[in-house]
Amino acid sequence: MATSDQGRAGAAPQAGSGRFVCKFGGSSLSQASQFHKVRAIVEADDRRRIIVPSAPGKRDGGDTKITDLLYLCHHSASIGADFTAPFAAIVERFTGIERELGASPAIEERLESFRLELHSGVSADYAASRGEHFCGLLLANWLGAEFVEPAEAILITGKGLVDAGTWPLLGARLADPGKRYVVPGFYGRGADGEVRTFSRGGSDVTGAVAARAAKARLYENWTDVSGLLMADPRIVDAPRPMREVTYAEIRELAYMGASVLHEEAMAPVREAGIPINIRNTNAPEHPGTRIVSRLSAEEVASTKIAGIAGKSTFAMVTVSKNLMNREVGYVYRLLGVFEHRGIPFEHCPSSIDTVSVVLEANWLEGQVEEVLDEIRHSLEPDAVDYVPGIAMIAIVGEEMVHTPGIAAQVFTALAAAGINVRLINQGASELNIIVGVAPEDYAPAVRALYRAFVG
């Protein structure tokens, strides 16, 4: 995701006394040369005081992530199989980085202890967490920073969420504003006292947790892209970057398939009002994308929408019945058919005599006829129509509610491209307009909408 100086204008971080939390992704720490970039970034701004590393990622297309190798080692050990080869690859990566950096946390001895732990039996979470753990040891040594063990300061509930006891506990460990700290990402301590990980991508969560616990001014998420784009670059050629976007807009775009931060990584900082800045380790001069609670005045003036996102993986069931509106609980009974089968729905647009249920098509796999038969038996509709494939596209923007003619612009653009709209859905907040089109019209529709709103 490359960015440029175009797009909704966002303000750069202002000077101040507040600390920054900097999370660096796996590609940013894949090899020694990347560690040099990280150190240059950290030392370029004295406010960058709390550093959260991921495990080393791929160095090139043919490489394997350290976390994947760790899972492989654990699985092999758990069934009594030999894991010499993947473990050797892990050792080679970490000792190679240590050697090139001239760091000295005695990583090889620690890895040997871990190998013995694998043989004696450890949890999958513990094994997977060692990528961040060892990377954090190397980085702390390299930066001359204090290493903070997440298993001693980050509490994770049985549901894999952050326990509220984390805020004072981790906050106390990060209390000295004059120190630099390294807090490995991805893991903490469960209620049973054992190491527990967040879901994959959980280092983003750790970064947000550290930012909230330390009452940071800014959470910088450093990765291999210069921010977020207004549309999918696989569909739109060189889409414009977002310079600034709200948490609410990001939530809508992520829901409709846009690749953004780990879903749980925004909650701690959003609740605390801390902005996120997505930056590129390989292009640190670029301002990236800022995720904020409220748009700046410059941003509001620059464009009508935040972005366009969608997915072509939906199906739709439409039920028609004369005088449906007179039958109390009709839609309730319809949704009950899906509920007792454990099938979630995404959208439920309706008219006076029809109601449609849009859902991910994979939920109906192997039971379409059973669901339709149950609807016919339970609700006695005049007709039931099943559409096995439909694409949903969201045009998202907080300022749309204040801009007349947005809907007209959407449908004019689609009509001009010869695209038939199967359904329309807009929430009362007017944060987005969602249209449904045939799967084959998905990419042309996204391009038409992008041209209409962005150019």
- pLDDT per residue over 257-311, tens digit each? 777 777 678 889 999 999 999 999 999 999 999 999 988 777 666 678 899 999 9
The pLDDT assigned to 200 comes to 65
Mean pLDDT of 72-101: 97
User: What are the tens digits of pLDDT across the range 362-421?
Assistant: 999 999 999 999 999 999 999 999 999 999 999 999 877 777 888 899 999 999 999 999
CB 162 within 8 A of CB 90: no
- Which pTM was predicted? 0.84
**Residue 429: predicted pLDDT:** 61
Residue 300 is predicted with a pLDDT of 67
Q: What are 412-449's pLDDT values in tens digits?
A: 999 999 999 988 887 656 788 999 999 999 999 999 99
User: What's the CATH number for 20-224?
Assistant: 3.40.1160.10
Is pLDDT above 50 for 8? no
Q: Where are the domains of the chain?
A: 20-224, 307-453
- Report, at the CATH architecture level, how domain 307-453 is classified: 2-Layer Sandwich (3.30)
pLDDT of 256? 79
Rounded CA gap, 155 and 166, in Å?
Answer: 5
How would residue 202 be classed by pLDDT, with cut points 50, 70 and 90? confident
